[in-house]
Homo-oligomer: A and B are copies of this chain.
Amino acid sequence: MPSYRYAARTRRMENPIIRQLLRLGQREGVISLAGGIPAAETFPIPEIAEASERALARWKSRALQYSPTEGLAPLREYIARRKGVRPEQVLVTSGSQQGLDMLGRVFLDEGDVVLVESPTYMGALQAWNVYDGRYLEVPTDADGLLPGALPDEAPKLAYVLPNFQNPTGSMLPAGRRDEVAAWARRVDTLLVEDDPYGHLFFGEEPPASLQKRCPDRVVYLGTFSKIVAPGLRLGYAIGPDEIINMMAQAKQAADLHSQAYGQAILAELAEMGVIERQEERTRNLYRRRAEIMLEHLGKYLPDGVSWSPPRGGMFVWLTLPEHVNTLELFEEAVEKGVAYVPGPVFSASGGLANSLRLTFVSVPEEQMEEGVRRLARVLEGAIGG
């Protein structure tokens, strides 16, 4: 076999740890609290079947032909209406992962600094590793990013997850949002506001987005993956017209446009009122599951483990005593029948070894208690030992 000559960036894409973990965690008999996927029972299957029929009947070949890179008009209009922006500010993307990729593509030169929270969403790191940026980590607490820790020098991009952060579940309060927006203006930088979970609040609705607070300094990423279904692979970016236009050019070179059929289906679902119903239904289910999970955590986890109740979303983040290494502990956990995601996966610098992420949405409710019990035994051993 020839030895193929890959680009330098290809070496930065490999992430053998995560791949290995994912394989391990799928072993039979393992209760996985590791997933990052929505609860499949929320998917509106009959409604999607009906919307598919309606989309073909109404749109006919236009639902199946090449279509504008920016997205189908009625879907852009729906998104614009919901988010209080103009349709020209909306780019439909192949999931919000593609929004992250397009932002890297349009903005990042080699060595450019990207500010990220610690911890942060690993998919963003994967997307931007391709463009060889450097990460600058800013600490967070139970209320998200600490504005006082923001630097005086402008990064090229500053990546913030204000609503029910992945992995911590925290929500950035209104005051901090104002501070972050003021900082972006002061140092002259662009905020990337990633908001896959905004509709999944357990208490009050979140405060107004960063995008609302400083529209000319924010690219906001949204998705239908957590509310309708990830298999449609449709999300969106909202930003200043000029940036959306640049991202559309970048997207044209990447995949021409996102699937038109799914866009037409979403436009029909929107008209049918299904999307709003899904938001309520999903949020209620996840709220209940979070409560169950928190009850079990309180009941079973040993002293020395702490967490903040998630304010929404899909995850809870555990912090363990300094000496515990959740990466090293993972194999033992799987042997004892439970999987989680080790903290370092969410760290741009590979830190956070004494933390881990659990999901409460995709594990069957009747397995949750046993999963937490198994985890508790593993952690007891590690903390005691």
Contact = CB atoms under 8 A, between A and B. Distances in A.
Interface string A244-278: 00100110111111111110000000000000000
A156 B5 contact: yes
Nearest to A45: B56
B41 A7 contact: no
Given A48-B64, A232-B259, A105 B252 contact: no
B43 A253 contact: no
B126 A252 contact: yes
A109 interface: yes
Query: How many copies of the chain does the oligomer comprise?
Result: 2
Given A41-B61, A64-B231, A64-B232, A253 B130 contact: yes
Contacts of A233: 94, 255-260
A232 B255 contact: no
A128 B47 CA distance: 40
Nearest to A56: B49
A253 B101 CA distance: 7
Given A7-B107, A259-B232, A262-B261, A40 B61 contact: yes
A53 interface: yes
A1 interface: yes
A275 B116 CA distance: 46
Given A13-B246, A66-B225, 18 more contacts: A1-B216, A7-B131, A10-B107, A10-B246, A14-B249, A41-B61, A52-B53, A52-B56, A61-B229, A64-B229, A64-B231, A95-B255, A126-B253, A127-B253, A130-B250, A229-B261, A232-B259, A261-B262
Interface of A: 1-2, 4-10, 13-15, 37-38, 40-41, 43, 45, 48-49, 52-53, 56, 60-67, 94-95, 97-98, 101, 105-109, 112, 123, 126-127, 129-131, 156, 188, 190, 216-217, 225, 229-234, 240, 242-243, 246, 249-250, 252-262
